């Protein structure tokens, strides 16, 4: 990282984490809309959009980890939190059925 001073690197780390969390929040909102509407979680359109969003975020996280701007643990926590929320949708739907 020639030419990048430590303060610049810290700013890059913070910005990368902020962008990943913003993308994570967008997916959380998608999940929350699903919960609010209690439509079937197996809806093909919903599943395709969610799968695409989750895959994209996981690739972004993987890149950020490989780049060294976030730790693997931070990346795993972001994905685990989303997966836990998604499980709530399936649990809630199962209880309603």
pLDDT band, very low/low/confident/very high, at 1 (cuts 50, 70, 90) = very low
1 belongs to a structural domain: no
Give the CATH number, domain containing residue 29: 1.10.287.750
Long-range pairs, 62-67, Cβ under 8 A, ≥24: 64/16, 64/17, 64/20, 67/16
Using a pLDDT cut of 70, give the percent of the chain over it: 81
Instruction: Examine residue 30 and state whether it is found in any structural domain, yes or no.
Output: yes
Q: Is the pTM of this model over 0.85?
A: no
| Per-residue CA distances from 2 to 6, 34, 39, 70 (Å) | 11, 46, 52, 19
**Distance separating alpha carbons of residues 68 and 82, to the nearest angstrom:** 22
pLDDT at 81 over 60: yes
Residue 7, pLDDT score = 72
Residue 65 lies in a domain: yes
**Residue-range definition of the domain harbouring residue 21:** 6-96
Q: At 47, is the pLDDT very low, low, confident or very high (cuts 50, 70, 90)?
A: confident
Number of domains the chain is built from: 1
């Amino acid at each position: 990282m020639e030419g990048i001073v430590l303060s610049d690197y810290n700013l890059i780390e913070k910005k990368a984490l902020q962008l990943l969390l913003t993308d994570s929040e967008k997916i959380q909102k998608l999940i929350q809309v699903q919960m609010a509407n209690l439509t079937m979680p197996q809806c093909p359109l919903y599943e395709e959009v969610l799968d695409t969003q989750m895959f994209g975020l996981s690739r972004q996280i993987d890149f950020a980890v490989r780049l060294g701007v976030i730790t693997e643990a931070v990346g795993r926590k972001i994905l685990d939190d989303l997966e836990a929320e998604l499980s709530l949708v399936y649990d809630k739907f199962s209880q309603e059925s």
